[in-house]
């Protein structure tokens, strides 16, 4: 099994606290920037800010499903997905709609995790 490349960001930290704190940090940043920034990317060929927010909503949706299946089914096998294929189907999502979706799903997932 391949190591989680994101594990280094939470190593030694309370993961539940990280899951609780991250949405507020993201929300503060996104609501604080001018809406034109939603259409900017951090580098040529990379997703625009609104696409990154859509990706966060996608990831939270996938986490919600994986978590619930894992709790409800014996021998649940995690299903992979291709993030770029998902984005191709939904690349024009509004940034604030994507943010709200992410925040709502995270609240629901945190309630279950607690």
Residue 35's pLDDT is what? 97
DSSP the chain: -PPPTTGGGTTTS-HHHHHHHHHHHHHHHHHHS-GGGGG-BSSTTSPBHHHHHHHHHHHHHHHHHHHHHHHHSTT--PPP--HHHHHHHSTT--HHHHHHHHHHHHHHHHHHH-
Q: pLDDT (tens digit, 9 = 90+) per residue, 33-64?
A: 999 999 999 999 999 999 999 999 999 999 99
Q: What is the CATH number of the domain that holds 103?
A: 1.20.120.450
Over range 67-89, report the average pLDDT.
94
In a domain, 1, yes or no: no
Domain count, the chain: 1
Domain residues for 45? Answer: 13-113
């Amino acid at each position: 099994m391949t190591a989680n490349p994101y594990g280094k960001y939470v190593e030694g930290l309370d993961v539940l606290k990280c899951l609780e704190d991250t949405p507020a940090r993201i929300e503060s940043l996104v609501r604080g920037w001018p809406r034109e920034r939603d259409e900017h990317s951090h580098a040529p060929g990379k997703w625009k800010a609104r696409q990154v927010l859509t990706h966060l909503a996608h990831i939270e949706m996938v986490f919600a499903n994986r978590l619930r299946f894992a709790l409800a089914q014996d021998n649940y096998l995690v299903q992979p997905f291709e993030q770029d294929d998902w984005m191709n189907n939904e690349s024009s999502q509004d940034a604030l709609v994507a943010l709200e979706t992410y925040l709502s799903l995270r609240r629901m997932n945190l309630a279950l995790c607690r």
